[in-house]
Amino acid sequence: MKPKNCLIFGASGLIGRHLIRKLTQSNYKVTVVTRNVHKKGYYLKLLGNPGYIDIVESSIFDLVKIENLIKNADICINLVGILYEKGGINTFKNIHEKFPNLLSTLCKKYNVKQFIHISALGVDKAKESLYAKSKLNGESLIRNNFIEANILRPSVVYSSDDNFTTNFMTLLNLFPIFPLYYNGSTLFRPIHVSDLTEIIYQMVSQNLKSITLECVGPEEISLKDILNRLLKLIGKKRLLVPVPLIIARLSAFFFEIFPKPLITSDQLKLLKYHNIPSGKFKTNFDINMPSYANFNNEVNKYSYMWRDGGQFSKTNKKDKELIKIE
């Protein structure tokens, strides 16, 4: 049987890298769209089984190329998203609204069998956040254009190559004091990337349609608890200090001057709300797609890199400097 052609946008990100492996190992032909094939094409090619992956260079706003790609697709998966605006065309409106609107319109026009769109958990609560508002608007546009589309709303996604646990362990390793926004009380249901890619794969293989699904891990954890667990795993003791809201807002404003801010004013608005199932939609557990990965067990597999002597540990950097001096 001829393998189905699966078109993926945003495949160079965390979810995409793992999804390429899963789909090509299951005999799906994957076409990956990237902005810079010379920069990302080589390592993306290595992620897929030989003969089952093609790399195409295109901007997500190249209408002619996008339309030609969708014409030949059986399945379209949109993983494109940003956590903060970077200027130019990389705005919430362009990435989270206009692009999903374009994809869903073309998928309907060319009778694509499945369209899967990755949104985010909790966006319907944090309506004062521009990020959340753009995600919600994108979902609405998709539903209006292509009612058979599947919309997945994951909680925070983690793995050894994420920007969540790894960033926190780096910061906790470096600084003796760490700020707690909203007292660290915000709740999450972290989901491991392997569980999320399995959910996407199951939706593809079962040809499910017209579902809005909240994708969560097995455990509800507060932000403070996450930080304490990470500290224990890397063998560090740090002071976690609740930050008054006015100080939090000023610090977020300050961080926004950096290319990759620790937190933005918009993200601070998101942290006011729990990142847990809303009760309005089914979760992966409700449709017999449970997530199994345990947060502590999974992070323990790679946290050694931030312990004393590890490649990212503060102690290790000092040791290296002493070696150079000698």
Residue pointed to by tokens 């809201």: 245
Confidence of residue 148 (pLDDT cuts 50, 70, 90): very high
Task: Please state the CATH superfamily assignment of the domain spanning residues 5-160+189-215 in this structure.
Answer: NAD(P)-binding Rossmann-like Domain (3.40.50.720)
**pLDDT above 70 (res 317):** no
Per-residue model confidence (pLDDT) at position 274 = 97
Contacts of residue 110, Cβ cutoff 8 Å, sequence gap at least 6: 70, 71, 73
Segment 41-86, tens digit of pLDDT:
777 888 888 889 999 999 988 999 999 999 999 999 999 999 999 8
**pLDDT above 60 (res 323):** no
Provide the H-helix boundaries in the chain.
14-25, 37-47, 63-71, 92, 99-109, 130-145, 165-174, 193-205, 223-234, 245-255, 265-270, 295-300, 314-325
Per-residue model confidence (pLDDT) at position 1 = 54
Annotated domain spans of the chain: 5-160+189-215
The Cα 176–Cα 236 span in angstroms is 9
The Cα 132–Cα 92 span in angstroms is 9
**pLDDT above 70 (res 205):** yes
